[in-house]
Amino acid sequence: MIKIGRLNLGNAPRVAAVITDDKNGQSLKNAIKQGADLLELRIDFFKGIEPENLSKTVRKIKQSRLPLIATVRSKTEGGKKSLTDRQRKEIFQHIIPIVDAVDIELSSKNIIKDIVGSAKKQNKKVIVSYHNFKETPSDGKLNKIIKDSKKAGADIIKLAAMARNMQDILRLANLTLKHKNLITLSMGSMAKISRVIFPIFGSLITYGEVGVSTASGQMPLNILKKELELYK
Amino acid sequence: MIKIGRLNLGNAPRVAAVITDDKNGQSLKNAIKQGADLLELRIDFFKGIEPENLSKTVRKIKQSRLPLIATVRSKTEGGKKSLTDRQRKEIFQHIIPIVDAVDIELSSKNIIKDIVGSAKKQNKKVIVSYHNFKETPSDGKLNKIIKDSKKAGADIIKLAAMARNMQDILRLANLTLKHKNLITLSMGSMAKISRVIFPIFGSLITYGEVGVSTASGQMPLNILKKELELYK
């Protein structure tokens, strides 16, 4: 069974809270209160990304003892800040020693090798991610992305794709059932249900809001927890 | 668009309350209070099935002005009472003039032709149903059931099948998306989610409990309504 920090993945849906460095640590407080299983640090949403500032923030978050995933989403895949590859790489290198996993885009060709290498060397888990805000690619293309992500060193592969119709949601559900070690989610107006059903079909992690919304179709974490409880 | 009584089906998920002739009409009261769109009379669960008794009960229920589906489920497909074909036929013939639709099993070979004929003559809708408490048949078999049901005169085809794994649920979801005028539901421990997602994939009616549970995976109607609202 795969783990992030001390958290086992795969035997039950796990709910990650999406966290920023907001004032008074409100999103962190909400995450703890609402029972998040782990935290995704969306560093591209952080106000303070200078090394000293960042360390201080993450050390504070670490006191929650929840496993941490560090994400510095690239602008092209939905990131908030425009950061150069060099900036992103520096942030990752700085943060890897103090988190449990990194999430890096398959499309971050210039830096993925170094980031994956550093993470592996330090025994941190690697999530290789793919985001498509326009459509859900064909099954053939999705399978190719999975294969390429494994080749790039992924322990876990995350696929997030816009659903243009209900068939798109079914296709991604089917893929989730067929493969191991996937995180899947559909985006868009019809996609809210995917946050609950994909974990039931085997998606390792589902992401809930605790203050900042980072993707369409995302639900408040406390509601997401209740829904998973209802259908378990 | 297909209708049962004055209720349009297909533009939004419709929630039917499963009703019996319980004491004080409690299930009917619950159905109205919780916002049922229509009622399924499970006459095989009724205590009083003699013609006079039955007419009296159904006329009372009719005061709710909700569209009515009459079901006299055969024992082999999950009915409560053991009734002969002749008894079931008499109940149907007696009840057809005062309801809006009948639900009869494709497997009720001795009486289906007469019941469908009577219903059509009186401008009532015909639901031809199939229940499998062991498994979800192959796609080929399910398509054959749909074809045979249409041939038997179905306006709407209802498929209820035991889900032995999540793949079974996905297959039935896929079928729901492909065909028109279906009611689909999965049964079993993992199947509760089907009550909410199949309507999203196009299943015309989903059934909620308002006092008596008649199938595994069924949810209380008020919760079902809330869930459909959350994901609409």
Q: Give the pLDDT confidence score for residue A209 in this predicted structure.
A: 93
Q: B189, exposed or middle or buried, with CB in 10 Å at 0-12, 13-18, 19+?
A: exposed
Pair of tokens at residue B78: 């999950």
Domains, chain B, ranges and CATH?
12-231 (3.20.20.70)
Q: Give the pLDDT confidence score for residue A190 in this predicted structure.
A: 85
Of A89, A125, A158, A225, the active-site residue reads: A158
Q: Check residue B21 and report its DSSP letter.
A: -
Counting residues of chain B whose pLDDT is more than 90, the rounded percentage is: 90
Interface probe for A, chosen from B193, B203, B218 (most Cβ of A below 10 Å), is B193
Q: Give the pLDDT confidence score for residue A218 in this predicted structure.
A: 81
Q: Give the pLDDT confidence score for residue B66 in this predicted structure.
A: 97
Q: B140, exposed or middle or buried, with CB in 10 Å at 0-12, 13-18, 19+?
A: exposed
Distance of CA B200 to the CA centre of its chain: 17
Give the model confidence (pLDDT) of B96-107 as tens digits: 999 999 999 999
Q: Give the pLDDT confidence score for residue A206 in this predicted structure.
A: 97
Instruction: Write the single-letter amino acid at B204.
Output: L
Nearest 5°: the CA angle A230, B25, B205 is: 45
ipTM over 0.90: no
Q: Give the pLDDT confidence score for residue B183 in this predicted structure.
A: 98
Whether the CB-CB separation of A198 and A206 falls below 8 Å is answered with: yes
Closest partner CB to B193 (pick from A166, A177, A231): A231
Are β-strands B7-8 and B3-4 bridged in parallel, bridged antiparallel, or unpaired? antiparallel
Would you call B177 an interface residue with chain A, using a CB distance cutoff of 8 Å? yes
Count other Cβ atoms within 10 Å, centred on residue A102.
Answer: 23
Q: What is the mean pLDDT of each run of 10 residues along chain A (232 residues)?
A: 95 95 90 97 93 92 96 94 95 96 98 98 98 97 98 98 96 96 94 94 96 78 94 88
Q: Give the pLDDT confidence score for residue A28 in this predicted structure.
A: 95
CA dist., res. A81 & res. B93, Å (int): 70
Give the model confidence (pLDDT) of B37-82 as tens digits: 999 999 999 998 998 999 999 999 999 999 999 999 999 999 999 9
Q: Is the dihedral of CA A78, A81, A85, A88 positive or negative?
A: negative
Q: Give the pLDDT confidence score for residue B189 in this predicted structure.
A: 84
Instruction: Measure B67 CA to nearest chain A CA, in Å.
Output: 29
Give the model confidence (pLDDT) of B154-211 as tens digits: 999 999 999 999 999 999 999 999 999 999 999 998 889 999 999 999 999 999 999 8
Closest partner CB to A200 (pick from B193, B202, B227): B193
Q: Model pTM? A: 0.92
* Contact (CB<8Å) B170/A166: no
